[in-house]
Chain A
């Protein structure tokens, strides 16, 4: 059986004051992908397992599905990204975060 897809090189992870793990896009990913024009979450996303897709987006250089580096229930997602996919190009973690797990 294949190992789960590991996207952790493209992601940052931080614990929030609420004890959630917040995950966002890192500089390495931004450098490789270029200007991001579209973002979406899978439907009915309330729990993810390692290697499962939790986010996808279209960049100038690639269309990417992002797979979770860890398992957990979904605390919340950054719905701002649906209207402002360009936030993913911003180095500000308050803007480029994608999901929080608990």
Chain B
């Protein structure tokens, strides 16, 4: 096992998706075949949104612009998160041996051990959340390329929670009535839970304790380390440039549809549909959401809904051929038809 030192890449780390790019590089480059550990802190505040989310309905774009917060879009699904220099992002890159991929407990354990030393009674809750006192301070994620995978998470230590709350809530908060906003109120920074002795510990000192725990040593210098070289960074930058820095990819196209309907489904997430109806026929439909289906194909659904009469029965028949379980999650055709025809789901979008 080796520690990958990213401190040589300060000039590149301004982009919040750079950490994901580094991870992809460590997963796919032939020179790395062992278990690796890396960590990073975002230099600037940014919002990272999921692959299928609609920035115009998820974010407060005015607030984000005024406060110079960056927006980037990750390749995977899931919801929007706010990160700033109060976050500590860490990851393991490893080779699948049949027991370790998606084994969040294995990779969370050293982190939990360190937090316990600092006085935080942290626990792995559900499949991949770290919580204290019932409040979430870390979400974990994993993804795989070939037989190599990434498993990591973000620790909220000194995050500006007020800014996070504002950036992630569009004006006329569309989700206030649906209980989704409360997700934000159930997150916390962990610093208030540190014991008195560690109240003022710096994030860098925390990472040193984490490294010592993971590598079972008292001396940082003894840790086998790969310091990222300029050549490494160039290759990482190539990955970033190709995948993540496209403005149209980040912002998405602004659709001027007549209708925008949204609802939260337990176990699936938010599902949103922007659509227009002409003379009783659906003329255009575009899906958004924070659901997480790695190989979900939303276009397959959108194409089959265009041209369908705007009536519950007809839409239900159409949705029954759209492989909802594979493309979005555990939703019935009737629920999707209802999302479109029932006006209670109508939401307003901000201009953008």
Q: Interface of A with B (CB < 8 Å)?
A: 18, 41, 43-46, 73-79, 102
How many contacts A-B (CB < 8 Å)?
43
Q: Which of B278, B280, B308, B313 contacts A76 (CB 8 A)?
A: B308
Known: A75-B317, A102-B317. Is A46-B279 also a contact (CB below 8 A)? no
Contacting pair B280 A45 (CB below 8 A): yes
**Distance (Å) between the CB of A101 and the closest chain B CB?**
10
Please encode chain B, from 318 to 330, with 1 for each CB lying within 8 Å of some chain A CB and 0 for all others.
1001000000000
Q: Does B228 contact A (CB under 8 A)?
A: no
Enumerate chain A residues within 8 angstroms of B317, measured Cβ to Cβ: 73, 75, 102
14 contacts between A and B (CB under 8 A): A43-B279, A43-B280, A46-B313, A46-B314, A73-B314, A74-B314, A75-B317, A76-B304, A76-B309, A76-B314, A76-B318, A77-B281, A77-B309, A79-B281
Q: Does B306 contact A (CB under 8 A)?
A: yes
Q: Does B311 contact A (CB under 8 A)?
A: yes
Q: Complex formed: what's the CA distance from A18 to B283 in Å?
A: 21
Contacting pair A46 B306 (CB below 8 A): no
With CB as the reference atom, state the residue of chain A lying closest to B314: A46
Q: Which of A41, A73, A102 contacts B281 (CB 8 A)?
A: A41
Enumerate chain B residues within 8 angstroms of A102, measured Cβ to Cβ: 317
Contacting pair A45 B281 (CB below 8 A): yes
Q: Complex formed: what's the CA distance from A79 to B307 in Å?
A: 6
Q: Which 3 pairs of residues, A with B, have the shortest CB-CB distance?
A: A44-B280, A46-B309, A76-B307
Residue of A43, A45, A46, A102 most packed against chain B (CB within 10 A): A46
**Distance (Å) between the CB of A22 and the closest chain B CB?**
12
Q: Interface of B with A (CB < 8 Å)?
A: 278-281, 283, 304, 306-309, 311, 313-314, 317-318, 321
Q: Is the interface of A mostly helix, strand, loop or mixed?
A: loop
Enumerate chain A residues within 8 angstroms of B278, measured Cβ to Cβ: 79
With CB as the reference atom, state the residue of chain A lying closest to B284: A79
**Distance (Å) between the CB of B315 and the closest chain A CB?**
10
Q: Complex formed: what's the CA distance from A13 to B41 in Å?
A: 62
Enumerate chain B residues within 8 angstroms of A74, measured Cβ to Cβ: 308-309, 314
Enumerate chain A residues within 8 angstroms of B309, measured Cβ to Cβ: 44-46, 74, 76-77
With CB as the reference atom, state the residue of chain A lying closest to B280: A44
Enumerate chain B residues within 8 angstroms of A77, measured Cβ to Cβ: 281, 307, 309
Contacting pair A46 B318 (CB below 8 A): no
Enumerate chain B residues within 8 angstroms of A79, measured Cβ to Cβ: 278, 281, 283, 306-307
With CB as the reference atom, state the residue of chain B lying closest to A46: B309
Known: A41-B281, A45-B280, A45-B281. Is A75-B311 also a contact (CB below 8 A)? no
**Distance (Å) between the CB of A43 and the closest chain B CB?**
5
With CB as the reference atom, state the residue of chain A lying closest to B304: A76
Q: Complex formed: what's the CA distance from A41 to B278 in Å?
A: 10
Enumerate chain B residues within 8 angstroms of A73, measured Cβ to Cβ: 313-314, 317
Q: Complex formed: what's the CA distance from A45 to B307 in Å?
A: 11
Q: Complex formed: what's the CA distance from A75 to B282 in Å?
A: 11
Enumerate chain B residues within 8 angstroms of A76, measured Cβ to Cβ: 304, 306-309, 314, 318
With CB as the reference atom, state the residue of chain A lying closest to B320: A18
With CB as the reference atom, state the residue of chain B lying closest to A100: B307
Enumerate chain A residues within 8 angstroms of B283, measured Cβ to Cβ: 79
Q: Complex formed: what's the CA distance from A75 to B307 in Å?
A: 8
Enumerate chain A residues within 8 angstroms of B308, measured Cβ to Cβ: 74-76
Contacting pair A46 B307 (CB below 8 A): no
Q: Which of A18, A44, A78 contacts B307 (CB 8 A)?
A: A78
Enumerate chain A residues within 8 angstroms of B313, measured Cβ to Cβ: 46, 73
With CB as the reference atom, state the residue of chain B lying closest to A99: B307
With CB as the reference atom, state the residue of chain A lying closest to B311: A46
With CB as the reference atom, state the residue of chain B lying closest to A44: B280
Q: Complex formed: what's the CA distance from A44 to B307 in Å?
A: 12
Q: A41-B281, A74-B308, A79-B307 are in contact. List 19 more A-B contacts (CB 8 A).
A: A18-B321, A41-B279, A43-B280, A44-B280, A45-B280, A46-B280, A46-B314, A73-B314, A73-B317, A74-B314, A75-B308, A75-B314, A76-B308, A76-B309, A77-B281, A77-B307, A77-B309, A79-B281, A79-B283
